[in-house]
Amino acid sequence: MAGHDFQPGREMSNEVDAKTARERAKAIAEQRRAERRNRKRKCVVCGVEESDKTPLTAHPEGIGPACKDEVACLSRKAAGAR
């Protein structure tokens, strides 16, 4: 091991740094998951947010969430286009 300085206790410090980095990454990932769960979904057709009155389902063409009531969705889209 030419050129490699041996420093007693340095290995322990690297392990602690790696552990804190993993814990920090876990905390950030959990925060992002929580934000994703709490985010309101929007209809890809008319743009209305999901609620009890306007539940969303999968769009038949697979392009994202869409209103369950297609007639109301299309009327909202037409009203928004004016």
Q: Which domain holds residue 18?
A: 11-39
The reply to whether 31 and 51 lie within a common domain is no
pLDDT of 52-63, one tens digit each? Answer: 888 888 888 888
Range 2-21 average pLDDT: 69
Give a yes or no: residue 18 inside a domain.
Answer: yes
pLDDT at 6: 55
pLDDT of 28-50, one tens digit each? Answer: 999 998 888 887 888 988 988 88
Cα-based distances in Å from 41 to 4, 20, 57, 80 = 55, 34, 10, 18
The reply to whether 50 and 75 lie within a common domain is yes
Q: What percent of the chain has pLDDT over 70?
A: 83
pLDDT at 68: 85
Q: Find all residues with CB under 8 Å of 80, minimum gap 6, and list them.
A: 46, 47
Q: What percent of the chain has pLDDT over 90?
A: 15
